Amino acid sequence: MRSNVFLSLFFIVLFALSPLSPAQEGTVPGIQVRNLLVTELEKGTDIQGASNQVSEKVIDEALYFDASGTAYLAENQKVFESLVGLLNDNASGFELAIAGFAQLPDQAPQVVTITILMFPDSASEVYNIALQMQVISEEDALLAVINAGIDPSTLTATAAGGTGNTFSPLGVGTGAAGAGGGDTTISAN
């Protein structure tokens, strides 16, 4: 547990030092939602009220997300509202995932999916931190990624101690009906 905290803090510092390009900032749904939140907070609305208003507005007006993303947010509105509130102090997908897992440990699959919906370019980071923090099983993490509309073959797996190896979806490789090009025949030796 203690090593997970240190690992998490290391990644937070590392990610905070990496700049976000201005071009990327305008198209990332999470940044757009955060901008709405900041606007509400600047009006004097408390964080709970602002996160409620922003989450309702995003869902009701179908802002920033495609139809399936908006539908998922509507089905999980309380988790979305909580994550919107966390955007005030967590401006990246990586940071939001960590804060979300801490605040909503029983809803890790929803945290993964919603965080990736808000920060799609952070899918691998969110997937990996969920596995590293051991808040979700690998199967549930993959399902959460798929629910966010991400092709799991695009993930890079570093959770199991790898160093950015490309994730292979289930069924690929030797012994999987020849998908990896190797001989799948069981040896009698």
The pLDDT tens digits for 85-102 are: 999 999 999 999 999 999
- The stretches of the chain forming alpha helices (DSSP H) are 2-17, 22-25, 29-42, 47-60, 67-75, 77-86, 93-103, 108-118, 123-132, 138-147
pLDDT band (50, 70, 90) for residue 160:
very low
> pTM surpassing 0.95?
no
- Residue 83 pLDDT > 90: yes
Q: What is the DSSP letter of 186?
A: P
Q: What is the rounded average pLDDT of the residues 19-42?
A: 79
pLDDT band (50, 70, 90) for residue 156:
confident
The residue among 16, 167, 180 whose CA lies nearest residue 98 is: 16
- Residue 137 pLDDT > 60: yes
Q: What is the pLDDT of residue 162?
A: 39
pLDDT band (50, 70, 90) for residue 185:
very low
3-state secondary structure 10-24: HHHHHHHHCCCCHHH
First to last CA, the chain: 44
Q: Say how many C-beta atoms besides its own lie within 10 A of residue 173's C-beta.
A: 14
Q: What is the pLDDT of residue 173?
A: 45
